[in-house]
Structure 1
Amino acid sequence: MADASDADQRDTQPTSPEVLSVSDLNEQIASFIEQSSELQGVRCIGEVTDLHQNGTALYFTLTDGDAELPCMIWANRYRKMDADLEDGTEVILEGDIDYWTEGGKIDLKPWEVIVVGDGEQAAAVERLRSELDERGWFDDEQKQRPPAFPERVGVVTSLRGDARYDIQSAIHEQDPTVDILVKDATVQGSEAPTSIANGIHHLDRSEDVDSIIVGRGGGSDSNLQAFNTERVAEAIFTANTPIVTAIGHTDDRLIADRVADMAAITPTAAGEYIVNSRNDFLASEIEPLEQQLEAAYETFEQEHEHEQELAEAVDGAASPEGLPPIYYKAAIGVLLLLLLVITALWLGVI
């Protein structure tokens, strides 16, 4: 028989929590946020990145370089604000934290925007861009072309991303004999510049690597800032191996792209560019030679036909009266010899 202490212990044990659906749990989270006074009417300062809009709303990310917060302003409210936002603008936002139950995402919905000025991060990137431009790091004269027939391609990217698979597929679809050496690197965050630069240096020291692709599968502006650092730019510029960037974005706004020998929009495009260098070489070097040979052969055929016609005409002509046959044959031989010499001179044989 159980004693009283056992019964009391069973009574005090916590019951299992209710099992909620995803929708119910998200509704509870949204309700908690809405009822929390600390999350309503908040003020936050940061830099605008990833700005885009459609007909109904303006979307952007607010970042301080270490963390980021999604933001959304309804289009009709934004039109009434005395603010002109663009990437790199530093702002103070006042608004409510909101939770989107369908997508399970949190964001800040500002009702007031105060423009402080150009963000520190954007200003620093622009200063570095101007400095490197003055050094000549962006000049076309500094660019190298990858080899026409690559044997081993180095890739600096994260082993956890899809970029390396896209590069491998693009290269091996064109030439499965190309060897690919992947150097794992951190491609975002504070450690990324050093990690990417070390990866470039490592592959550049490998004598059998004849071109290098540095890439990742896109991302927000704040996640791509490693490619706007002097550390990565210097590693690319000082490399002896041709380097192609493949950072997965659509506009040329990154310093690494400007320094690289070639900037591809996507990792797939970078892989295609490496193997298509062979096709470009064939088109620029071999095809003109083929055209010249074909033209020379056609000329030779025409001249040969002309010689045959002349020979037939001479053979069919009557021997001049009073001229001994031996002199007639000698004259024909001289004429044919002269014709051959003229033809050889015209063709550049002698």
Structure 2
Amino acid sequence: MADAPDTERQAVEPDAREVLSVSQLNDRIASVVQDTPALNGVRCIGEVTDLHKNSTALYFTLTDGEAELPCTIWANRYREMDADLEDGTEVILEGDIDYWVEGGKIDLKPWEVVVGGDQAAAVERLRSELEERGWFEDEQKQQPPAFPERVNVVTSLRGDARYDIQNAIHGQDPTVDILVKDATVQGWNAPTSIANGIHHLDRSEDVDAIIVGRGDGSDSNLQAFNTERVAEAIFTANTPVVTAIGHTDDRLIADQVADIATITPTAAGEYTVNFRKEFLASEIEPLKQQLDAAYETFQQEHEHEQELAEAVGEATAPGASHRFTTRSRSLRCCCCCWS
């Protein structure tokens, strides 16, 4: 019989390392997490997403747009907090990192929640920086065409904003083509979604204007329009951009960078087609003034021509020569008397 392959003849050497059960390994991970001072009493800022709750606890994910961290707040503790959390809320959480042995999951268990965090300060820092770059200057603004044939829109297909814009435009001019690019307008991925939508539509050569916006919302829900990513997409667009964000508070950064800022989607749609009225008024008024001046000059010249015609008529009328001779003789007689 042929020799068996070496792999079959070789004895399996036992591994001297300890073999742990899942529970034992999870216990070891938990002890490391619990005994690490850097993971206790941590403070973390981010945005609340995927929030859901039951009678036992409030569960959500904290994200900064790049990474995510599961969080759990026990129901009795949450009731004692002065916080009303919802998807999109910006928060600063303070608590301990915990490892759930049975589920094999790390999460943050906050004991303190501060809604808003330093979001306002961060927005103001960005606003100042962009102002220094000159992104808000009027010289950087583009004027949408007076007679648009195609308008592109970046907004959520599930929101009312798209219909408000469409109705406002087609109510004035049903011949304008409208293309809507679906975008997430709130939440951690909204800035990227909105910016990508602007970049995508800006590549179309036959688009006359881009409207970017959404309906009204809370401050936290509008924060995508206070980000550098959206501001840069608007600023670098070759196509004029009109913001259509439903709000009444201080202007958002996106509004300041945009070529035209309106406070509602309806207003944006109306402006896009009604701008032609302003354009025509600005063009026609100087022409009207020139026409009025030309007509006044014509009237004056016509009156002067009539006076000349009357004078010529009197000079060439029958008997005019005799009257002239008689007057001349009378003048000579008068002169003789004086001499």
Secondary structure of the structure 2 residue equivalent to 1:161: coil
In the other structure, the counterpart of 1:294 is 292
Task: Check if 1:158 corresponds to 2:195.
Answer: no
C-alpha spacing 1:237/1:229, structure 2 compared with 1 (3 Å): same
2:301 & 2:232 partners in 1: Cα distance?
60
1:203 & 1:67 partners in 2: Cα distance?
26
Which of 167, 185, 200 in structure 1 is aligned with 2:183? 185
Secondary structure of the structure 2 residue equivalent to 1:123: helix
2:88–2:221 CA contact under 8 A, matched in 1? no
In the other structure, the counterpart of 1:226 is 224
2:159 & 2:114 partners in 1: Cα distance?
36
Can you list the C-alpha shifts for 1:289-313, whole angstroms capped at 9, x where unaligned? Answer: 0231133123213321331232123
Over aligned residue pairs, what C-alpha RMSD do you find? Answer: 3.2
Which of 274, 291, 294 in structure 2 is aligned with 1:276? 274
1:287 & 1:276 partners in 2: Cα distance?
17
Secondary structure of the structure 1 residue equivalent to 2:184: coil
Can you list the C-alpha shifts for 1:148-190, whole angstroms capped at 9, x where unaligned? Answer: 1111111101111111111111111221211111111111111
Q: What does residue range 201-240 of structure 1 map to in structure 2 within 5 Å?
A: 201-240=199-238
Unaligned runs of 5+ in 2: 1-54, 58-73, 95-111, 326-339
2:88–2:186 CA contact under 8 A, matched in 1? no
Q: Percent identity?
A: 77
Task: Check if 1:39 corresponds to 2:76.
Answer: yes
Q: CA deviation at 1:320?
A: 4.2
Q: CA deviation at 1:116?
A: 7.5
2:118 & 2:185 partners in 1: Cα distance?
22
1:308 & 1:232 partners in 2: Cα distance?
69
Q: Which amino acid aligns with 2:128?
A: S
Which of 161, 172, 178 in structure 2 is aligned with 1:174? 172
Q: CA deviation at 1:67?
A: 5.3
Larger Rg, first or second structure (1 or 2): 2
Q: What does residue range 54-73 of structure 1 map to in structure 2 within 5 Å?
A: 68=89
In the other structure, the counterpart of 1:309 is 307
1:156–1:199 CA contact under 8 A, matched in 2? yes
Q: CA deviation at 1:193?
A: 0.9
Secondary structure of the structure 2 residue equivalent to 1:310: helix
2:91 & 2:229 partners in 1: Cα distance?
25
Unaligned runs of 5+ in 1: 1-30, 47-60, 69-87, 93-113, 325-350
Can you list the C-alpha shifts for 1:82-127, whole angstroms capped at 9, x where unaligned? Answer: xxxxxx99799xxxxxxxxxxxxxxxxxxxxx99798232222222
1:229–1:255 CA contact under 8 A, matched in 2? yes
Task: Check if 1:143 corresponds to 2:141.
Answer: yes
The TM-score normalised by the length of structure 1 is 0.60
Q: Which amino acid aligns with 2:264?
A: T
1:193–1:232 CA contact under 8 A, matched in 2? yes
Count of residue correspondences:
235
C-alpha spacing 1:130/1:118, structure 2 compared with 1 (3 Å): farther
Q: Which amino acid aligns with 1:266?
A: T
1:42 & 1:321 partners in 2: Cα distance?
120
2:186–2:222 CA contact under 8 A, matched in 1? yes
